[in-house]
Amino acid sequence: MSDSVDSWILKKVSFDIFFSALKSEDYKVLSPQVEDGAVTWFEASEADDLKQGFSDQQNIGSYRLNQTESDVWFSIVHGAQSLKSLTFKPRQATVKIIKTEAGISFQAEQPKAEKIAVIGARACDVAALQIQDRVFLGGAYQDEYFKANRESLLIIAVNCTHAHETCFCASMNTGPKVKAGFDIALTELKDAFIVEAGSMAGKRIVEALNLTVAPKDMSKQADRLIEHCAVSQKKRMPQQNLPQALYEKQHSEHWDDVATRCLSCANCTMVCPTCFCHAIEETPDMARQTSERVRVWDSCFNPEHGYIHGKNMRPTTADRYRMWMTHKLGSWIDQFDSSGCTGCGRCTTWCPAGIDLVEEAIAVLGEDAMEKKA
């Protein structure tokens, strides 16, 4: 592998050498697969496991899987699950509390993680993981559970060549081509993948494959497919002055309008690849001799989440939607130096009320713009 070269060709018929290289480094390989009508991360052991035989169709409040005879392997863009569940687990035991004759003992759950290589991560989700890195690892205290999972994860991204009605990663500058935070990136062509390495670990694995350099025309074809995906995205998140407009609209009637539609069901936060709210549960055994303290995903849409010192800070759905959107698109930037949104579109796809984040942002800005004109 020459230093001046940065992309290679991996023919689909030879893809199993990639699995062999990953297994030789003791990685368990996961890829998005359909099981019981849902897309989730499943173990893959050979190339045939990657041929999904389904494509997804996403729209506002709607997700459909269609069986397909197409020979495209990564025809599903993404399901409800992002990379979040692999690093920030939905349930994480933290402490076991045991009643003893001498009193009570506390045993901390030690972080442990297996080596996982995930094939099929999309650019929006890789960008989301980088945001979560800042949340969980960037401050004075690091989350040891997240850290262990993160350090054991090898990310094999697949650049998007088609987008859905709800995707807007191009306007968030997070996709459809993966930019950073990946180990290996693949772009699917008809009979082969263009392969790029994004880290030392990725480079080591690519070198072991002994691939040939990608001819310029194939690399250009891959770039054109990705570019077409970017320009085909109909949704664009407005960027101008959004945080300030949201702060100024704290008391807007717009939030009451959203609340007439929002069910406060928390779907948007559960599927969001960057949301990190959590709660702590204590689960005693039936004999009340031990108890397990578990961190579980929570949501700012859950009424209990706003309780503090006997008072609920966000008693209404309007309060909760305002909090979510203002944090995601506004104050997140103050906290973590980036938006909390990567444009994956899941919150819009999976909202049973069909509430579209981009449309709501445009509504807030539109109201602001109109007031400034008057």
Is residue 344 within the footprint of ligand SF4 (CB under 6 A)? yes
DSSP-assigned beta bridge partners for residue 213: 8
Q: Does 322 bind ligand SF4 (CB under 6 A)?
A: no
Contacts of 288 (CB under 8 A, 6+ apart): 99
Token pair in block for residue 64: 């459909």
**CB of 125 or CB of 196, closer to ligand SF4:** 125
CB of 262 to ligand SF4, least distance (A): 3
Give the binding range for ligand SF4 (CB under 6 A) out of 16-24, 46-54, 147-155, 353-361. 353-361
# residues near ligand SF4 by CB under 6 A: 26
Which one among 17, 34, 209, 353 touches ligand SF4, defined by CB under 6 A? 353
Which tokens sit at 121?
A: 């991560």
Q: Does 345 bind ligand SF4 (CB under 6 A)?
A: yes
Residue 104 one-letter amino acid: I
| Distance separating the N- and C-terminal Cα atoms of the chain | 63
Q: Per CB under 6 A, which region of 11-19, 146-154, 209-217, 346-354 contacts ligand SF4?
A: 346-354
Name the β-bridge partners of 290.
98
What is d(CA 70, CA 79) in angstroms, rounded to the nearest whole number? 19
SS3 304: helix
CB atoms closer than 10 angstroms to residue 125: 28
Is residue 328 close enough to count as binding ligand SF4 by CB under 6 A?
yes
* Region 274-303 residues binding ligand SF4, contact defined as CB under 6 A: 274, 301
Binding flag, residue 242, ligand SF4 (CB under 6 A): no
Does residue 326 interact with ligand SF4 by CB under 6 A? Answer: no
The contact pattern for ligand SF4, residues 121-160, with x = CB under 6 A and - = no contact, is -------x--------------------------------
Alpha-carbon span 315 to 301, nearest angstrom: 10
In the list 266, 318, 323, 365, the residue contacting ligand SF4 (rule: CB under 6 A) is 266
Give CA–CA dist 193/191, Å, rounded: 7
Rounded CA gap, 164 and 97, in Å?
47
Q: Note the residues at the interface with ligand SF4 (CB under 6 A).
A: 128, 262-268, 271-274, 301, 328, 341-347, 351-353, 355, 357
